[in-house]
Structure 1
């Protein structure tokens, strides 16, 4: 029964008075047993609604902490409704949403619970005096968290020279840290050596943590080490500095010869380095670094062409070049014929001119014609030519394009059957009659049922076959085209997911909603 109530709680057509009855039911059940999981599930489901009245919000938040947190995130619970002393977690959520007063931050910065101060340290827009107070916190985890998240450059700069290496590491990741401070973390110029790290806080040095250690509650990650110079923390600090977009390119480039593959890969992912450095990293000994160069949108055309021609490098996936926004069209056509390209929009194809699209669509190679077929705003003549293509792979790519006539869609299925049926079913203009025929196709195509079950044009004739399949029953149960008699039958079925979806269906009649809410004898 709980799954039906949760479904009702999500029903957008649930009348306000029935929402009120559901809230009252959740509140009374929670008051009777605070550990009642069913009541907690119902309260949480209700907290996802956006049409709750202020009274309903207060009732839910007073009796269920998780619902209260969600309501605060959603903006329905305001600062006027929260006592920061009694409910600091709620106050922290509102501060994180910039919906709490500065006085709360000052209050919680002195909270005796370190976890509260640690959470506060990541809140945006903290008053400067609060940030400075947290920067002097006795708990180094609180200070490190502030170093990671503070948006005050003066505080971030102070923490970048903190004597604890872990705080410096977090500051190296923060884009609010001034560029000069980030550069100093790489070069060490004007920077005193760190005095401690997470490793030497816990262990006598020299110490290296077993990389394969799986013991719980150790407090250290695998491969963390300190021989007096806080080696693993310094390495990780350089890595985060290399990743940080605020780090000056000149300082970051100094790390190009670093022995850590992770640092070199982070450099290869940056978009602001000289072309010569990308060319150097493209010849790195580690394939992960070379692959990062391949996927970098900042590399220039000569390097793109060189990488596309590197057929002998089997360790990298050159299909990433197809997603490069400046890949030359002839290189993209070459890649289409030689590597597998994922079925997703390609920036170069999205930017192609009508003339370029027509040229691609006229290619003798099906893989190249498929490139043009990826666009969803093709000129009508190009679209129709591709919709009549003899190759099934081209038809699968073009089939979801809006504007294709029903006759052309049916012709695709007649020629290639199950090979194109799923994509035809996903066409936004597929008619109710076509969807019904696709749902009854022999042999049935189960993957097509997913498209049909959520298609806005589907009618009960198309949805009934979807309800007969376990994988798509719940999806179809939520379709508003289902008649009440079918929905009521689903409510009493053994498939709880489908029953919950039926309860959430806006087509569910009000008398049925009332019956579900009515207390059981």
Structure 2
């Protein structure tokens, strides 16, 4: 890879003329960054497509190509991308529905808004994987028809399709009202009875781990039930009976459904599998009594799931927070807290409660400022990135707690240029702070020069527009390719230097 050209291709300050020149010499690597340019014109997109045809697919998804730019016979993947975006022509779909390339027909089957005759052709496709792909994305009427398909694999994707009518999903769970499936992927390939090894050594094997068939297609039938249990369109009454099912995977699939009746939640709360209980703990369907029961569960993941439940009572949540490492996360219940609850949490004698509310970034100024003056370093660290904090308060945080809060202070959007400079000179500066400073839009040249001394922050500082142009130019010869790319992509790179680079590297003709 040419790191200089790769970086230049992403430089937002590059002139249109230089972009044209880069397109003229682009390879696959350089084309990746050229495709990502927000200022790429239609003419440039067409030129890039003709130069590096592999980039046609992302160009099509970005809406930079028109049907007139694409030959569906010669460039089927680009045509499929446009059909997926519903900007392609109907006749392309008809052509590709008969493609001898299986992957093309399968991709077509996932495209929305296909003509009715194309859908009919795909329903009758000789390869079941095409029909199964169609079933996954089908409209309700087509999904209902495919639910009775003789191949169990098609029924599996119908069960996963959220557009499948509820009564059809209920029938797929029980099999009642549907003709028996005659085939599955296992008996297509192997003599039954057959059980596929869970750790199959063959890299090209298409059977799912543990797949089995004794003539009843039992593993695919199990997968159909699991997919339907995960499907929110499946009626509640069709799924509740699985709370006591011997299959762990089926009980687990049931545990996070938000429509579970209380008695089903209670049965799942006693499940021997911690994974089932953990998913149930995060489910807003459980009531307060069950929440308090699960709060005493011996399994760490169950209690962590409960902490992420949007309905967990605040007293339970603060108790959990003291025992769990929540990290720098705004929990759903805290995000939904009322103004009165926010005030209550901020004034709590429990520092874990104050830490939780300090993660919000919409606190009233008086609460935000009070938390910034908290005696507990964990609370101050949590509130440090909050917008609106004055420079004086941010400096006071660092004076009191130093390296414990330094990195989070560096992420504050209102940190001043002078403060960022001072953070780089802190006697116990955390190395991670250099990375945050190098990303900060207010970082000064002086701060960025300090960040260049850290190997992990160097490439970030190299791409910062506040870096002095002579320093940027010097970094173009850096031993680290990532630093070179960032410097070449820096919009503060002098235009004359950018033009000279393109010239020297062969993208411009000699004068």
Fold in common (TM above 0.5)? yes
Deviation of residue 257 (structure 1)? 2.3
| 1:321 and 2:309 are equivalent in the alignment | no
Contact 1:287 1:315 in 2 (8 A): no
Distance 2:168 2:234 in 1: 9
Residue equivalent to 2:335 = 350
The CA deviation string for residues 217-243 of structure 1, in whole angstroms up to 9 with x for no partner, is 233222111111111111111110110
Contact 1:160 1:185 in 2 (8 A): yes
* Segments of 4+ moved more than 4 angstroms: none
Deviation of residue 256 (structure 1)? 2.2
Distance 2:348 2:163 in 1: 50
Residue equivalent to 2:509 = none
Residue equivalent to 1:29 = none
| 1:414 and 2:402 are equivalent in the alignment | no
1:303-342 aligned at under 5 Å gives the runs 303-308=290-295, 310-311=296-297, 313-314=298-299, 316-342=301-327
From 108, 112, 136, give the equivalent of 1:148. 136
Deviation of residue 400 (structure 1)? 0.9
Q: Higher mean Cα deviation, 299-308 or 112-121?
A: 299-308
CA RMSD of aligned residues (A): 1.5
Unpaired stretches in structure 2, ≥5 consecutive residues: 507-511
Distance 1:429 1:57 in 2: 39
| 1:385 and 2:373 are equivalent in the alignment | no
Residue equivalent to 2:282 = 295
From 128, 137, 140, give the equivalent of 2:125. 137
Secondary structure, counterpart of 1:154 in structure 2: helix
Q: Higher mean Cα deviation, 448-457 or 247-256?
A: 247-256
| 1:281 and 2:268 are equivalent in the alignment | yes
Distance 1:347 1:211 in 2: 37
From 60, 68, 72, give the equivalent of 1:72. 60
From 31, 55, 59, give the equivalent of 2:47. 59
Distance 1:280 1:115 in 2: 44
Contact 1:166 1:233 in 2 (8 A): yes
1:440-479 aligned at under 5 Å gives the runs 440-479=425-464
Distance 1:10 1:301 in 2: 53
Superposition TM-score, scaled by structure 2 size: 0.96
| 1:251 and 2:273 are equivalent in the alignment | no
Secondary structure, counterpart of 1:138 in structure 2: coil
Deviation of residue 520 (structure 1)? 4.4
Secondary structure, counterpart of 1:269 in structure 2: coil
1:52-131 aligned at under 5 Å gives the runs 52-131=40-119
| 1:207 and 2:194 are equivalent in the alignment | yes
Contact 1:44 1:66 in 2 (8 A): no
Unpaired stretches in structure 1, ≥5 consecutive residues: 27-38
Q: Higher mean Cα deviation, 111-120 or 453-462?
A: 111-120
| 1:370 and 2:355 are equivalent in the alignment | yes
Count of paired positions: 506
